Amino acid sequence: MKRRHSLVLTAALGLMAASSARAESLRCNGSSTSEGESRLAVLYKCGEPLLKDSYCAPWVQAGTLQPLPSAYAAVVTPCQPVEEWVYDRGPGNLMATVRFKSGVVQSIVYGRAPQ
């Protein structure tokens, strides 16, 4: 009986891990765009976004979520350029925010309004 419960638990954990590792994609005009694609590819497939924003995000140390020390980061580079494009996918669909870092799609997030 314990073995059966452990198998069920293992299967459930495996499904949860697989679903959380899945990358989002954005469907536009019969094409699909996903993480790793360039700005040009997204623009070609999806057209001009409803909104665009760009800002400089602080660099983080490799393997951690800690920002680089200011003195070091300012010498190397002050920030990492980030762009966010918002697509309105029409009535009944959530808006999609596509985040680019160094000109490449890093994430696609769905929500009711840009954040």
**Domain 24-111 carries which CATH code?**
3.30.1450
Going by the DSSP 8-state scheme, the letter that residue 91 receives in this structure is T
Report the C-alpha gap between 76 and 108 in whole angstroms. 29
Tokens of 57: 């995000």
Whole-number pLDDT of residue 57: 81
Per-residue model confidence as pLDDT tens digits over 54-74: 998 876 656 666 665 555 555
Residue ranges of domains in the chain: 24-111
As a whole number, mean pLDDT of residues 18-31 equals: 72
